[in-house]
Structure 1
Amino acid sequence: MSVATISPQDARDLVARGAVLVDIRSADEHARERIGQAVSVPLERLSAGAVPAGGAAAVVFHCRSGQRTRLAAQVLGASVACDAYLLDGGLDAWKRAGLPVVVDARQPLALQRQVQLAAGALIVLGCVLGATVSPWFHALSGAVGAGLVFAGASGFCGMARVLMKMPWNRRALAG
């Protein structure tokens, strides 16, 4: 089944007429910022029948920028028994169109962004300490870089696992 792309305004109108809006981003991304009517069904949990369409005639899928929905369009279309649409430009386009979003600043940043911040900070720290204190501190930057390469190649990110155990993330993922 082909999946059509629609504008934020058309998506809003379709949802007003009873379509289901499905956010395929991770649960932590959805908790921090979301379209109010959106139901969270992360892409990795998506399968046939996983989308709570509730007899709706259409489902509109979205992510942050539209990239994930475009890449997964075939899977998304196959996951529903009704018409399926992709929100062109995702949540970012929805906001640019001036449409309302729910923001919960008490929720932590998305885990991927936390990993990027932590890895970047450790690399910079290793560079600065390597240049000012001892060249051995460059090994810190090298170790973080090697960890990122391993995470990309294997799909396992040790830093993300550690960050998930931080108190601010345990509270958010539990609730």
Structure 2
Amino acid sequence: MTDDIIDVQAVRGLVETDPDTVLVDVRTPAEYESSHIAGAVNLPLQAVDRHLERIVSGVRGRMVLVCQSGNRARQCQDRLAAAGLRGAVVMSGGMNAWEAQGAPVVRGRQRWALERQVRLVAGSVVLVSVLASLLWPPAVAAAGIIGAGLTFAAVTDTCAMGMALARLPYNQPRNAVDVGASLDRLAVDR
């Protein structure tokens, strides 16, 4: 592992031995509500840009960034580093790795992970458009559009479909995340 990426065992060790370690979960509030690491602060990636100055100037202790697989956490790490905060590390494999190793989680209302929802919607549109093209050949264009969108998402490490799905009522938490309270928790001297 590099210095800016650490594995689940290292994170567990930090949480147990270093009271200044703060886990920042950058997933959507609904994903966080489904399952999260006890004590983790939910600060959705979408909120990071709006609060970069406060995060960079107020963080105390070691910051470990967590998402579902590690991709959004790396995006957050890049944004924080560009703003001047260089000490944040990413938990390799995210919550997928955490849960695969049997580490404890706090569970709430269960939902499919956003990445799984994107695969379902994209795959369904492609399948339906290909089948529809047997009757009406221009319908295959929808499959091409989805393919282009997925390619763009991979190249830019963003996902418009995921951002759209995150806004659906199904993906909204029962209680909205209080970004201000999350930011306050980051700045508390431990």
Partner of 2:92: 88
Matching of residues 26-65 of structure 1 within 5 Å: 26-46=28-48, 47-50=52-55, 55=60, 57-65=61-69
> Gaps spanning 5+ residues in structure 2: where?
177-190
Task: Provide the rounded CA distance (Å) in 2 between the counterparts of 1:72 and 1:160.
Answer: 16
Give aligned-pair identity as a percent. 28
Quote the residue 1:114 is aligned against. 117
Aligned-partner residue type, residue 8 of structure 1: V
Scaled by the length of structure 2, what TM-score is found?
Answer: 0.62
2:23/2:64 contact within 8 Å kept: yes
Deviation at 1:91, TM superposition (A): 2.1
> 1:104 maps to what in 2?
108
Q: Secondary structure at the match of 1:50?
A: helix
User: Which residue of 2 is the match for residue 7 of structure 1?
Assistant: 7
Count, aligned residues? 166
Larger Rg: 1
In the alignment, the residues of structure 2 paired with residue 143 and residue 134 of structure 1 have an alpha-carbon distance, to the nearest angstrom, of: 16
Change over 3 Å in CA distance of 1:53–1:104 after alignment to 2: farther
Greater RCO between the two (CA within 8 Å, min separation 6)? Answer: 2
CA drift at 1:21:
0.8
**Does the Cα contact within 8 Å between 2:68 and 2:94 map onto a contact in 1?**
yes
Shift of 1:125: 0.9
| 3-state SS, counterpart of residue 54 of structure 2 | coil
Residue 27 of structure 1 and its aligned partner are, at CA, apart by 3.0
Mark the CA change 1:102 to 1:140 in structure 2 (over 3 Å): closer, same or farther. Answer: same
Residues 42-66 of structure 1: per-residue CA shift (max 9 Å, x gap):
23422133379775x3222222333
Local SS of the residue matching 2:110: coil
Structure 1 unaligned runs (5+)? none
